[in-house]
């Protein structure tokens, strides 16, 4: 399976999921759609990577999940942020900002 | 916290696998359905939209696999899967599994058994505090070697040294304990009061000795061993303060030793050196008296062994100048306590440990070979799996799991074999040679076995796994080219394994051969007496009734009178320090008219006090003059008999008989008490078959009545069967007199070579095993190459090659492997057999004859092993062969 352009930058998917869940609890598909929409289609989220990330985040205690009925009466697993997850999101956002600024400076310098 | 979370979640998904799996299915299903619905809203058909989602979002099954492999539990789960798969695969090829498991079980079993000996004897901590700092000190003299320390010298050592924080004297003692049923002899040590605290041992019950108990004349007290306390006092704590009668004297019990106490073997009692000094006043006061005393020292915190040794040597040489009469040429020998306790066994045990490691390596090489064969049979299966997307890592892991399972089962069976082997080995070594060490399967040994299994897994599993997975997928998938490309390399690899096996086997065979030759030479050495059908038992007259010479003389005469007429007795005699018993008395002698040497250089023979029949009982040949008679009694002139070596050294003209000598060195205050030499007898190997004869002197017991004597009985029947009759006869004289150290002289001779015999038996066993394994190895390689080349051989035969050519060709391959293995083996053997040198007798570690014969054995076995498949190759029917495949 060759990497397609439009795949989420490695390591940033966790952050994007946390950010998405910061607004409201959501099921897997919802998260994928939201990321695609907000990124205006730049990022496409693969089911495999999405659920791996969700499981990893849940193991780390950053998100929690429960089964609920979705808007069209389908049972789905809804994920929401824990307090720990909120804290992590804050710190990652800060770090990301710094990194982006730094990279931008490096790119401009040359 | 996070870790805990992860472990909990992992466990949950492991335990409720089905539920986890279901949830994953449902969640992914929902995802897919939602995505498809979205597409369908845009007007796509259901089928098209599902297909589109799959393309866009990835295959659902693959996604599931990815999600599953996130948690650590998936590792466990796949391991379990691999294990089940491996078990199934192994069950499907029972003959391979049988050979591999058996090979490993033998290798691992032998290792476990020998390691438990290594651990018990060499590694297990001694039951003392910080035993690395404990040093045992002896005196040395060039005439004899290591000897006991005299008590006055010990006192000076202790006063003058600065490198030891403490020193204690330890003197072996024995007591007669008049028991309820049978009188017995108990063994113990008379020790300086600081002995136990120096060792860091606290009494289990009661008190340690008090410093005041070092002074001669201290009231008799003792510490009981734990086992004596159990057996004689029913483990009753009120035994403290009770009195126990030893040699007819009352000793008050002040304490009980811990159960694991040993020095170096079992100790029944400890008494303070002050009590000993009162009863052995000569030993305690005369510098010349070197009884049975060693000195224990604890190095001071800053001192090193070398410093301590040089300081002690300085003290000894000062004492030698100050007291030339007793100390001329006497030095001091220091030994770490561990070395002192196991010195004799160490080289044998280490050699055997090396040998079993070789056996294990051979076993591993053999199994690796089997796995390679198996691997090449599975090339297509592996290629298929690689093609289907399995990673190489995954397949290697699975193959290693299979190896691990083999090693595990082999190890389990090996452990059982080890258990059995340990019992056999402790019997073979004999308890008295173990120096009190216990050999059993302990936690450490189990750990060692686990380590071996893990190591073996990688040693024999990794190479085949790497080889088999490194294949050209395409080539192997094609019919007809079954692994032909990698075949050459594989064969070379298998050749390497076989050469290794052959080389290691040759080294083991050489070791066994050298030991066999030594033992053969050693057993051919005449001990100087005839040990067949001679029974030996020791008695020590210690109670007050035997304080006077006439009583002692009378007792032994009565013993001889009672025992001689017993049916089955050919001759009975008494004698002190018979050969191979390790007990000895030595003294300086002065031969009349000889130029007087320095005090330390006087002849220093071993002395035996014997009854008239001794030479007849022992069958020691009389070379000159006469033996003793009943007339050589206390009223007759003193007479003595010397051995051939002494006669040759001092009377080279053969005129010893009639000459005179005296015990000790000439003194200005006393007139010499001359002893006339009346006979010369043959030499005996007093200290075992390997040790050359020493100077010996015999004196009649009526003139020098001894208390501690061996009764020697030559029987016309099985000597062991006579024991109880003789015991009865002695009990009728004194029912409280214990008899101990009952054995046959044959046993003593055989014990004197027991370490060598034990080494030989085990080395022989191991090298035999190695040879069989190597033969299997070479057989396997040749068979395989014949099977692989069936078609070629068929064509050659069809084209007119003679069967002889084919035979030569195949045998040639076997021979080439053998010769290469032989060369490496010989080089290895030359380098390695040196470790055996201290165990060899009359053979050099590079003995040409041994090397040649074991090489021949190896060649014959290897050629035979390759002949079987070669014969099969010779009989290949070209028509069948060409139709093959």
For residues B622 and B671, membership in a common domain is answered with yes
The shortest CB-CB distance from B58 to any of A28, A47, A60 is to A47
Q: Is B138 part of any domain?
A: no
Residue B389 buriedness (CB in 10 A; 0-12 / 13-18 / 19+) = exposed
For residues B637 and B721, membership in a common domain is answered with yes
CA B380 to chain A, closest CA, distance in angstroms equals: 25
Q: Is the pLDDT of residue A4 over 60?
A: no
Cβ distance A46 to B9 less than 8 Å, yes or no, reads no
With CA atoms as reference, report the closest residue to B402 among B84, B106, B95. Answer: B84
Q: Give the pLDDT score at B421.
A: 86
Structural domain spans, chain A: 13-109
Cβ distance B58 to A52 less than 8 Å, yes or no, reads no
**Alpha helix stretches (DSSP H) within B222-262:** 226-233
Rounded Cα gap, residues B854 and B864, in angstroms: 15
For residues B710 and B566, membership in a common domain is answered with yes
Rounded Cα gap, residues B315 and B149, in angstroms: 14
Q: What is the pLDDT of residues B333-391, one digit of tens each?
A: 999 998 888 767 888 888 999 999 999 889 888 888 888 877 777 777 788 888 887 78
Cβ distance A28 to B27 less than 8 Å, yes or no, reads yes
From residue B792, how far is each of A61, B140, B364, B803, B866 by CA, in Å?
Answer: 66, 74, 31, 13, 19
For residues B409 and B437, membership in a common domain is answered with yes
The residue-averaged pLDDT of B230-253 equals 90
Q: Is B176 part of any domain?
A: yes
Residues in chain A: 110
Q: Is the pLDDT of residue A5 over 50?
A: no
Cβ distance B34 to A76 less than 8 Å, yes or no, reads yes
With CA atoms as reference, report the closest residue to B781 among B822, B825, B818, B827. Answer: B818
In chain A, which residues have their Cβ closer than 8 Å to the Cβ of B8? none
Task: Name the residue range of residue B241's domain.
Answer: 144-328
Cβ distance A74 to B28 less than 8 Å, yes or no, reads no
Which residues of A lie closer than 8 Å to B, measured between beta carbons? 1, 27-29, 32-33, 44-49, 51-52, 55-56, 58-61, 70, 72, 74-77
In chain A, which residues have their Cβ closer than 8 Å to the Cβ of B4? none
% of chain B surpassing 70 pLDDT: 94
For residues B708 and B769, membership in a common domain is answered with no
Q: Residue B378, Cβ neighbours under 10 Å: how many? A: 17
Is the Cβ–Cβ distance between B476 and B381 less than 8 Å?
no
In chain A, which residues have their Cβ closer than 8 Å to the Cβ of B60? 47
Cβ distance B63 to A47 less than 8 Å, yes or no, reads yes
In this structure, what token pair is assigned to residue B405? 């399972």
Q: Does B23 touch chain A (CB under 8 A)?
A: yes
The shortest CB-CB distance from A55 to any of B26, B34, B67 is to B67
Buried/exposed code over B574-608 (b: 16+ C-beta within 10 A; e: otherwise): bbbbbbbbeeeebebbbbeeeeeeebbebbbbbbb
For residues B724 and B778, membership in a common domain is answered with no
Cβ distance B63 to A60 less than 8 Å, yes or no, reads no
Q: At which residue do the structure tokens 């005449």 appear?
A: B526
Rounded Cα gap, residues B200 and B197, in angstroms: 5
Chain B, 53-72: which have a CB under 8 Å from a chain A CB?
Answer: 56-58, 60, 62-63, 66-67, 70-71
Q: Give the pLDDT score at B179.
A: 63
Rounded Cα gap, residues B685 and A87, in angstroms: 89
Cβ distance B23 to A77 less than 8 Å, yes or no, reads yes
CA B456 to chain A, closest CA, distance in angstroms equals: 36
For residues B705 and B767, membership in a common domain is answered with no
Q: Mutate one of A3, A6, A26, A29 to test the B interface: name it (highest B CB count within 10 A).
A: A29
Q: Is B134 part of any domain?
A: no
Residue of A nearest to B70 (CA): A52
Rounded Cα gap, residues B870 and B817, in angstroms: 14
In this structure, what token pair is assigned to residue B222? 């003792």
Least confident of B124-133, B484-493, B640-649: B484-493
Q: Is the pLDDT of residue A71 over 80?
A: no
Q: Is the pLDDT of residue A98 over 70?
A: yes
The shortest CB-CB distance from B58 to any of A48, A56, A77 is to A48
In chain A, which residues have their Cβ closer than 8 Å to the Cβ of B34? 27, 29, 70, 74, 76
Q: Does B35 touch chain A (CB under 8 A)?
A: yes
CB pairs under 8 A between A and B: 75
Cβ distance B30 to A48 less than 8 Å, yes or no, reads no
Cβ distance B6 to A46 less than 8 Å, yes or no, reads no
Helix (H) or strand (E) holding B560: helix B549-563
Q: Which CATH code is given to the segment(s) A13-109? A: 1.10.10.10
The shortest CB-CB distance from A74 to any of B33, B38, B66 is to B33
CA A27 to chain B, closest CA, distance in angstroms equals: 8
| ipTM rounded to 2 decimals | 0.77
Q: Give the pLDDT score at B27.
A: 80
Cβ distance B5 to A46 less than 8 Å, yes or no, reads no
Q: Which of B49, B71, B93 is the last residue of a domain?
A: B71
Q: Give the pLDDT score at B93.
A: 84
Q: At which residue do the structure tokens 């086997």 appear?
A: B505
The shortest CB-CB distance from B67 to any of A33, A51, A75 is to A51
Average pLDDT over all residues of chain B: 87
Q: Is B337 part of any domain?
A: no
Q: Does B26 touch chain A (CB under 8 A)?
A: yes
The residue-averaged pLDDT of B673-693 equals 93
The shortest CB-CB distance from B71 to any of A28, A45, A59 is to A59
Helices then strands, counting H and E runs in chain B, come out as 30, 22
For residues B82 and B67, membership in a common domain is answered with no
Cβ distance B34 to A56 less than 8 Å, yes or no, reads no
Q: Mutate one of A8, A44, A47, A88 to test the B interface: name it (highest B CB count within 10 A).
A: A47
For residues B218 and B308, membership in a common domain is answered with yes
**Region of B210 on the Ramachandran plot (φ > 0 left; ψ -120 to 50 alpha; else beta):** beta
The residue-averaged pLDDT of A14-19 equals 88
Secondary structure of residue B838 in the 3-state scheme: helix
Least confident of B464-478, B504-518, B551-565: B464-478
Residues in chain B: 885
In chain A, which residues have their Cβ closer than 8 Å to the Cβ of B24? 51
Q: What is the pLDDT of residues B725-747, one digit of tens each?
A: 999 999 999 988 999 989 999 99
Rounded Cα gap, residues B277 and B284, in angstroms: 5
Cβ distance A49 to B66 less than 8 Å, yes or no, reads yes
Q: Give the pLDDT score at B390.
A: 79
In chain B, which residues have their Cβ closer than 8 Å to the Cβ of A75? 26, 30
pLDDT category at B432 given cuts 50, 70, 90 is: low
Q: Is B107 part of any domain?
A: yes
Q: Is B448 part of any domain?
A: yes
Looking at B561-621, which runs of residues are DSSP E strands?
569-575, 589-591, 606-610
Cβ distance B30 to A27 less than 8 Å, yes or no, reads yes
In this structure, what token pair is assigned to residue A100? 């982006």
Least confident of A99-108, B61-70, B467-476: B467-476
Is the Cβ–Cβ distance between B145 and B604 less than 8 Å?
no
Q: Give the pLDDT score at B611.
A: 96
Q: Up-side HSE of residue B571: CA atoms within 13 Å toward CB?
A: 12
The shortest CB-CB distance from B31 to any of A47, A55, A72 is to A47
For residues B52 and B110, membership in a common domain is answered with no
Q: What is the DSSP letter of B266?
A: -
Q: Is the pLDDT of residue B543 over 50?
A: yes
Residue of B nearest to A3 (CA): B58
Buried/exposed code over B614-645 (b: 16+ C-beta within 10 A; e: otherwise): bbebbebeebbbebbeeebeeeeebbbbbbbb
Q: Give the pLDDT score at B431.
A: 64
With CA atoms as reference, report the closest residue to B451 among B723, B312, B443. Answer: B443
Q: Which of B296, B328, B360 is the last residue of a domain?
A: B328
Q: What is the DSSP letter of B120?
A: I
For residues B508 and B550, membership in a common domain is answered with no
CA A13 to chain B, closest CA, distance in angstroms equals: 15
**Total structural domains in chain B?**
5
Residue of A nearest to B29 (CA): A76
Residue of B nearest to A45 (CA): B57
CA B62 to chain A, closest CA, distance in angstroms equals: 7
CA A67 to chain B, closest CA, distance in angstroms equals: 9
Residue of A nearest to B57 (CA): A46
Q: Is the pLDDT of residue B481 over 50?
A: no
CA B25 to chain A, closest CA, distance in angstroms equals: 11
For residues B659 and B757, membership in a common domain is answered with no
Q: Is B534 part of any domain?
A: no
Is the Cβ–Cβ distance between B41 and B35 less than 8 Å?
no
Q: Give the pLDDT score at B482.
A: 44
Is the Cβ–Cβ distance between B292 and B149 less than 8 Å?
no
Q: Which of B675, B705, B735 is the last residue of a domain?
A: B735
pLDDT category at B789 given cuts 50, 70, 90 is: confident
In this structure, what token pair is assigned to residue B45? 């058909």
Q: Give the pLDDT score at B300.
A: 95
Q: Is the pLDDT of residue B714 over 60?
A: yes
Q: Is the pLDDT of residue B9 over 80?
A: no
pLDDT category at B484 given cuts 50, 70, 90 is: very low
Most confident of B443-457, B466-480, B690-704: B690-704
In chain B, which residues have their Cβ closer than 8 Å to the Cβ of A4? none
With CA atoms as reference, report the closest residue to B792 among B808, B780, B806. Answer: B806
Q: Mutate one of B3, B6, B35, B67 to test the A interface: name it (highest A CB count within 10 A).
A: B67
Q: Is B488 part of any domain?
A: no
Pairing of strands B675-681, B639-643: parallel
Q: Which residue has the higher pLDDT, B376 or B823?
A: B823
Is the Cβ–Cβ distance between B574 and B701 less than 8 Å?
yes
Q: What is the pLDDT of residues B143-164, one digit of tens each?
A: 888 999 999 999 999 999 999 9
Q: What is the pLDDT of residues B329-339, one digit of tens each?
A: 999 999 999 88
Q: Give the pLDDT score at B550.
A: 93
Q: Give the pLDDT score at B479.
A: 47
pLDDT category at B531 given cuts 50, 70, 90 is: very high
The shortest CB-CB distance from B63 to any of A44, A48, A74 is to A48
Cβ distance B58 to A28 less than 8 Å, yes or no, reads no
Cβ distance A29 to B66 less than 8 Å, yes or no, reads no
Rounded Cα gap, residues B805 and B824, in angstroms: 29
């Amino acid at each position: 399976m060759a990497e397609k352009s439009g795949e989420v930058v490695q390591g940033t998917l966790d952050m994007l999921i946390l950010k998405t869940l910061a607004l409201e609890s959501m099921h897997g598909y919802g998260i994928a759609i939201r990321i695609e929409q907000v990124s205006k289609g730049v990022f496409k989220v693969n089911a495999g990577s999405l659920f791996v990330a969700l499981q990893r985040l849940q193991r780390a205690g950053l998100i929690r999940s429960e089964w609920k009925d979705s808007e069209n009466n389908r049972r789905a697993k809804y994920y929401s942020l824990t307090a720990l997850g909120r804290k992590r999101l804050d710190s990652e956002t800060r770090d990301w900002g710094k990194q982006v600024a730094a990279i931008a400076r490096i790119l401009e310098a040359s | 916290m996070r870790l805990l979370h992860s472990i909990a979640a992992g466990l949950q998904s492991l335990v409720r696998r089905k539920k986890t799996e279901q949830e994953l299915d449902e969640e992914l299903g929902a995802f897919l359905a939602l995505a498809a619905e979205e597409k369908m809203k845009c007007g796509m058909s259901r089928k098209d939209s599902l297909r589109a989602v799959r393309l866009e979002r990835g295959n659902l099954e693959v996604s599931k696999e990815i999600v599953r492999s996130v948690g650590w539990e998936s590792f466990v789960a796949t391991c379990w899967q691999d294990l089940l798969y491996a078990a199934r695969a192994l069950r499907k090829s029972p003959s391979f599994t049988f050979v591999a498991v058996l090979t490993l079980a033998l290798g691992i079993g032998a290792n476990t058994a020998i390691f438990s000996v290594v651990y018990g004897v060499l590694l297990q901590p001694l039951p003392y505090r910080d035993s690395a700092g404990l040093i045992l000190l002896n005196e040395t003299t060039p005439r004899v070697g290591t000897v006991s320390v005299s008590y006055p010298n010990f006192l000076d050592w202790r006063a003058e040294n600065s490198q030891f924080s403490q020193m204690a004297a330890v003197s072996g003692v024995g007591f007669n304990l008049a028991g309820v049923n049978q009188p017995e002899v108990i063994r113990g040590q008379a020790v300086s009061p600081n002995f136990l605290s120096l060792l860091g041992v606290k009494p289990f019950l009661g008190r340690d000795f008090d410093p005041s108990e070092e002074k001669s004349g201290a009231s008799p007290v003792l510490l009981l061993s734990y086992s004596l306390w159990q057996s004689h006092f029913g483990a009753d704590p009120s035994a403290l303060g009770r009195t126990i009668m030893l040699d007819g004297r009352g000793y008050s019990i002040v304490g009980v030793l811990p159960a694991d106490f040993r020095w170096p073997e079992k100790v029944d009692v400890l008494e303070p050196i002050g009590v000993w000094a009162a009863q052995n006043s000569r030993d305690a006061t005369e510098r010349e008296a070197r009884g049975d005393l060693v000195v224990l020292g604890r190095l001071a915190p800053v001192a090193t062994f070398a410093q301590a040794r040089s300081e002690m040597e300085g003290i000894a040489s000062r004492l030698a100048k100050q007291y030339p009469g007793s100390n001329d040429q006497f030095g001091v020998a220091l030994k770490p306590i561990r070395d002192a306790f196991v010195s004799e066994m160490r080289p044998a045990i280490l050699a055997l440990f090396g040998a079993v490691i070789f056996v294990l390596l051979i076993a591993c090489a053999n199994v690796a070979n089997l796995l390679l064969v198996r691997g090449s049979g599975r090339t297509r299966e592996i290629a298929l799996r690689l093609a289907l997307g399995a990673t190489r890592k995954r397949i290697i892991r699975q193959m290693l799991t299979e190896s691990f399972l083999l090693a595990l089962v082999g190890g389990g069976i090996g452990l059982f074999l080890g258990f059995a082997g340990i019992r056999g080995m402790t019997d073979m070594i004999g308890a008295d040679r173990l120096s009190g060490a216990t050999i059993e399967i302990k936690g450490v040994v189990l750990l060692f076995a686990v380590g071996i299994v893990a190591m073996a897994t990688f040693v024999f599993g990794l190479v085949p796994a790497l080889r088999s997975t490194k294949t050209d997928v395409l080539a192997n998938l094609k019919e007809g080219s079954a692994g032909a490309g990698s075949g050459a390399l594989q064969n070379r690899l298998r050749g390497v394994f076989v050469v290794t096996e052959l080389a290691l086997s040759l080294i083991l065979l050489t070791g066994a051969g050298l030991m066999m030759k030594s033992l053969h030479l050693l057993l051919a050495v005449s001990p100087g007496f005839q040990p067949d059908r001679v029974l030996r038992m020791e008695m020590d007259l210690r109670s007050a009734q035997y304080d006077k010479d006439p009583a002692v003389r009378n007792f032994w005469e009565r013993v001889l009178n009672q025992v001689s007429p017993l049916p089955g007795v050919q001759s009975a005699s008494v004698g002190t320090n018979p050969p191979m018993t390790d007990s000895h008395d030595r003294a300086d002698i002065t031969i009349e008219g000889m130029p007087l040497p320095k005090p330390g250089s006087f002849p220093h023979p071993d002395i035996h006090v014997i009854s008239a029949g001794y030479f007849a009982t022992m069958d020691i040949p009389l070379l000159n003059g006469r033996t003793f008679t009943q007339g050589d009694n206390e009223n007759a002139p003193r007479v003595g008999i010397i051995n051939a070596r002494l006669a040759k050294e001092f009377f080279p003209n053969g005129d010893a008989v009639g000459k005179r000598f005296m015990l000790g060195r000439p003194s200005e205050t006393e007139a010499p008490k001359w002893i006339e030499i009346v006979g010369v007898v043959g030499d005996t190997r007093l200290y075992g078959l390997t040790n050359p004869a020493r100077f010996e002197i015999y004196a009649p017991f009526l003139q020098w009545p001894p208390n501690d004597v061996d009764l020697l009985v030559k029987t016309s029947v099985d000597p062991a069967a006579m024991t109880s009759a003789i015991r009865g006869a002695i009990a009728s004289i004194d029912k409280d007199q214990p008899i101990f150290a009952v054995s046959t002289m044959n046993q003593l001779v055989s014990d004197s070579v027991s370490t060598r015999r034990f080494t030989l038996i085990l080395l022989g066993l191991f090298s035999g095993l190695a040879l069989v394994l190597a033969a299997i190895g070479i057989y396997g390689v040749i068979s395989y190459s014949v099977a692989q080349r069936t078609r070629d051989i068929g064509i050659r035969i069809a084209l007119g090659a003679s069967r002889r050519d084919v035979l030569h060709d195949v045998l040639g391959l076997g021979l080439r492997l053998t010769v290469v293995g032989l060369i490496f083996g010989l080089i290895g053997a030359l380098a390695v057999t040196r470790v055996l040198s201290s165990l060899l007798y009359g053979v050099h570690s590079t003995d040409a004859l041994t090397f040649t014969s074991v090489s021949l054995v190896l060649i014959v076995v290897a050629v035979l092993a390759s002949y079987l498949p070669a014969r099969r190759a010779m009989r290949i029917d070209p028509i069948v062969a060409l139709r093959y495949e």
